Structure 1
C-alpha cells in the first residue's frame, strides 16, 4: 500500500494567536505598527468584536485626518477560511486573495497570508510529496532506463552516486545505485529518455524538462530553508520570484506525475508480488 503522506490544514499554517487593533486607532499608527511587526494585515475590533481588517497596502504612516473606518475592509465570509481546509485548498484561495482569517467564538482565531506558505508545516508537506515523487521516478528509471549511466549524467554526479553507494555497502544497507542519485540527476535522466517522460504524462521533452526543473528548484528551496514563495505581493505572469500561483502549478504537476506513474504500475509502496508492468 502507498505510504501515508503528511497533511496540513489552514489552522496549522495560520499565525495564532492574532493581534488586533482597536477601531479608533489612527491609520498612521496602524501602518507603523504593521511595518514594525512585519505583519501584512490585522483584524480591527470594536467593543471586543471583530468588525473588519486592515491590510498594509490600505494605510500609510502619513497623518491624513482619516479614521481607521475609512481604510478597513469589512470582515465578511469572503475573507474567512475553515481551519480544516486542506493545503491545496489554502493554496488555491491565496492565489486570488492575499489574506484570510480563521473564525472563532466572537473573535478571529488565526490569520493566514501568503507568507505563511514559507512556514515549517508547508515545507514538510511539500518535501514529503517531492520525496514520494523521487521514489516513483527511481522505480520508473530502473524499468525504462536501466542504462541510465549512458544518459547526460555528469561525471561528478556519477562519482557522488558511487560514493554514496559505497558508504551504504560498507554499512550493509545498500540499494541499487539509482537510489543514491539527487533529484536533479533524476530530472536529467527522465528528461533524456522518451519512455520515461512519456510515462510521466509529458507530451514533449521540452515540457518534461521545464516542469521537472521547476520541481528541482522547489525541492532545493524547501530542503535548504529558502523561501518557498518569494513574491507574496503579485501573481502576475512576469512577476519576479516564485509566486503563490507558481507554487500551485508546480504542486499540481507533482500530483499529476504521481498519478500517471501509479496508473502505469509504478508504486514504491506496493508489494513486490504485485503484477508486472505492461
Structure 2
C-alpha cells in the first residue's frame, strides 16, 4: 500500500509575518522599503483596512508622488488564495500571478510569492515525492534489470555502489546492491532499458533521458538547499534558470511516472510477476 506523503499548503508556504505599508507613503520610499526588506510585494492599508497591494515592479526610487494610488493594485479575489490550497494548486496559481494574499477577519494574514517556493516546506514536499519515486525506480530495476551493471553505468558509479554496499554489509544491515545506487544512476539504468522507460510512461528513450535528467537536477537542488525556482520574474519555458512553470512541469512528470509504475505494480516491496 502506498505510504502517506508529506503535504504542504499555501498557509505553510506563505510568509506569515505580514508587514504592510501605508497608502500615504511616497512611492520612492515604498520602493526603498521593499528592497531593504527583500519583499516582492506588500499589502497597502488605509485607515486600518487593506485596500490593495504594491509589487516591487510597480515602484522605483525615481517615482514621484505623495501616495501609492498610482502603483496600487486593488486587492480583489484574483489575488487571494485559501490557506488550505494544496502545494500543486499553489504552484499552478503562481504561474498565473507572482503574488497572492491570505486573509483573515478584515486583515491580511499571509503573503505567498514565487520566492516562497524556495522555502523548507517546498523542499520537504518535493524531497518526499522524489524519494518515493526513487523507491519505485529501484523496485522496477530489481524486477526487470538483473544485469543492470551491463547498462551505461560508469565504473565510478559501480565502485561507489560496491563501497556503500560493503559498508552496510560490514554493519550487518545490507540490502541488495541496487539500493545503494544514487538517483542519477537509477535514471541512467531506466532510460537505457526500453522495457523500463516504457513502463514509466515515456514514449522514447530521448524523452526518458531528458525528463529524468531534469528530475535528477531538481533532486540535487532540493538535497543541497539550492534554489528550486531560479527565476521568479518569468514563467516562460525558455527563460534562463528554472521558473515556476518549469517546477510545475517537473512535479507533473514525477506524479505521472509514479502513477504509471503503481498501475503496473512496481511498488516498493512488491514483486511483479
Query: Counterparts in 2 of 1:180-259, with a 5 A limit?
Result: 180-259=180-259
Quote the offset at 1:277 in angstroms.
2.9
| CA-based RMSD | 1.0
Rounded Cα–Cα distance in structure 1 between residues aligned with 2:7 and 2:237: 29
**TM-score with structure 1 setting the length:** 0.96
Give the 3-state SS of the residue equivalent to 1:44 in structure 2. Answer: strand
Indicate whether 1:157 and 2:161 are aligned: no
Gaps of 5+ in 1: none
1:66 Cα offset (Å): 5.3
- Compute the displacement of 1:73 (Å): 0.2
Match of 2:176?
176
Unaligned 5+ runs, structure 2: none
Moved over 2 A (4+): none
Q: TM-score, normalised by structure 2?
A: 0.98
Give me the whole-angstrom Cα distance separating, in 2, the residues matched to 1:148 and 1:65: 68
The question of 1:135 aligning with 2:135 is answered yes
- 1:99-132 Cα deviation digits (max 9, x unpaired): 0000011100000000000000000000000000
Secondary structure at the counterpart of residue 251 of structure 2? helix
Per the alignment, residue 23 of structure 1 pairs with 23
Query: Any idea what the Cα deviations from partners look like across 1:119-174, whole Å, max 9, x if unmatched?
Result: 00000000000000000000000111110000010010001000110111111111
Contact 2:237 2:245 survives alignment (8 Å) = no
**Separation of aligned partners in 2, 1:54 and 1:143:** 55
Work out the number of aligned pairs and report it.
273
Q: Distance in 2 between matches of 1:71 and 1:193?
A: 56
> Contact between 2:26 and 2:64, CA under 8 Å: does it hold in 1?
no
Does residue 57 of the first structure (1) align with residue 51 of the second (2)? no
